[in-house]
Homo-oligomer: A and B are copies of this chain.
Amino acid sequence: MHTDQVRATLARQHIETPSWAYGNSGTRFKVFAQQGIPRDAYEKVSDAATVHRFTGVAPSVALHVPWDLVDDWGKLRAHAEDEGVSLGAVNPNTFQEDEYRLGSVCNPDPAIRRKALDHLLECVEITQQVGSKHLSLWFADGTNYPGQDSIRERQDRLSEALAATYAAMPEDMTMLVEYKFFEPAFYHTDLPDWGTSLLHCLHLGPQAKVLVDTGHHAPGTNIEMIVTTLLREGRLGGFHFNSRFYADDDLMVGSADPFGLFRIMFELVQSDAVTPDAGVAFMLDQCHNIEAKIPAQIRSVMNVQEATAKALLVDLDALREARASGDVLRANGLLMDAYATDVRPLLAQVREDLGIDPDPLAAYAASGYQQRIESERVGGAAAGWGA
């Protein structure tokens, strides 16, 4: 691709940040408190808008219900618009009430399943009210001990809940069905892998697509293979980007596996699925347990951009030729050449094209925003998982 096209493509990228990344988070061992943490959804949206202001490519923010519950969704939407962003994917929560101890939509108790389903249906409503097109489903459902529950009957229950939710969706809404290898369930997870998610999507219909969280796989899994298979099937709904060395570490995307991120992006490039018109949602889903939240989100957006830029620079014509001739070293070399390229100058140009500072982290640091929120956001309960 010519550099001009690369720049134009990068300028059109859309990377959604999650409201929950701006709140406190941690591990089961400890949630470390930070300063300047938002106390409600409005302040989270403001932080997300700040990230957009400094990166130029993060124009929407994902919501988590009930963590982001507000009295008036229209008002939150207006606030977002004032801040220059839109509200994105709506993420229901069916794992943080004591009743969900044995699962939500897969729970053996029909009353609890009903409660969970009602929440899903409520979120279909909210998705419309906030002007979003994405209902993003992740279930913590599973079991901890062999024998604990019927794996098969739980699939039936899951099917039923998904079908009822799907039926309630308007035609322009997409259901994103996420999967996860393990945690918080430690024996079996009801949606453990892309295959199970896809199978449910195929039974549901064309508005159901698979959501790939880059931290939700078994060790060694080739994620770009999954991405390609889903693209080929027309069922890649989007990404929850983050990075991991071990399990679902939820580190900043690109920090643990920059080469892996690049390989995923390269599959998207080859299937022409980098820009928003391809219908693949790029979303971050991360925890900044020990680092500053807003700069970490900025850095993460930049990491996705850099991986994308490198992927766009691969010489596809030469690659096609090398592949056809079976020249393993040359084909691999062409990929690595793009990866070895320093794309930071190119991205500085993209930012100038977008009318923003070429160095987002420095600009943010100089902006005084962090100091302001640290001094202003005093009192109230800092947002976190659960609020």
- Residues on A lying within 8 angstroms of B by beta carbon are 25-30, 32-33, 95-96, 98, 100-102, 108-109, 140, 144-152, 155-156, 181-184, 186-189, 192-196, 198-199, 202, 217-222, 224-226, 228-229, 231-233, 244-247, 249, 251-252, 255-259, 263, 266-267, 270-271, 289-292, 295-296, 299, 306, 314, 319, 323-324, 326, 328-329, 331-336, 339-344, 361, 385
- Is B183 a contact partner of A290 (Cβ separation < 8 A)? no
> Residue on B with the closest CB to A194?
B195
- Is B194 a contact partner of A332 (Cβ separation < 8 A)? no
- Is A246 a contact partner of B225 (Cβ separation < 8 A)? no
With A146-B335, A246-B182 in contact, is A221–B218 under 8 Å at CB? yes
CB neighbours of A258 from chain B (8 A)? 259, 336, 339
- Is B102 a contact partner of A33 (Cβ separation < 8 A)? no
- Is B218 a contact partner of A33 (Cβ separation < 8 A)? no
- Is B344 a contact partner of A340 (Cβ separation < 8 A)? yes
Q: Which of B144, B221, B245 contacts A186 (CB 8 A)?
A: B245
- Is B147 a contact partner of A199 (Cβ separation < 8 A)? no
Q: Which of B26, B245, B271, B292 contacts A329 (CB 8 A)?
A: B292
> Residue on B with the closest CB to A342?
B342
CB neighbours of A151 from chain B (8 A)? 224-225, 228, 267
With A27-B28, A195-B229 in contact, is A291–B329 under 8 Å at CB? yes
CB neighbours of A289 from chain B (8 A)? 144, 184
**How many copies are assembled?**
4
Q: Which of B147, B228, B270 contacts A331 (CB 8 A)?
A: B147
CB neighbours of A340 from chain B (8 A)? 306, 342-344
- Is A27 a contact partner of B184 (Cβ separation < 8 A)? yes
A-B CB contact pairs (8 Å), 17 listed: A28-B385, A29-B385, A102-B328, A145-B331, A146-B335, A147-B266, A148-B323, A152-B228, A182-B246, A186-B245, A186-B246, A255-B332, A291-B329, A292-B329, A295-B329, A299-B329, A333-B361
Minimal beta-carbon separation of A305 from chain B (angstroms): 12
- Is B336 a contact partner of A245 (Cβ separation < 8 A)? no
With A144-B251, A290-B101, A341-B342 in contact, is A95–B332 under 8 Å at CB? no
- Is A146 a contact partner of B332 (Cβ separation < 8 A)? yes
With A29-B385, A192-B225, A245-B220 in contact, is A109–B326 under 8 Å at CB? yes
Minimal beta-carbon separation of A37 from chain B (angstroms): 13
- Is A183 a contact partner of B247 (Cβ separation < 8 A)? yes
CB neighbours of A263 from chain B (8 A)? 146
With A152-B232, A342-B341 in contact, is A140–B29 under 8 Å at CB? yes
Alpha-carbon separation in the docked complex, A331 to B153 (Å): 15
With A101-B290, A146-B332, A289-B144 in contact, is A199–B344 under 8 Å at CB? no
Minimal beta-carbon separation of A196 from chain B (angstroms): 6
Alpha-carbon separation in the docked complex, A381 to B291 (Å): 31
- Is B251 a contact partner of A108 (Cβ separation < 8 A)? no
Minimal beta-carbon separation of A49 from chain B (angstroms): 20
- Is A152 a contact partner of B323 (Cβ separation < 8 A)? no
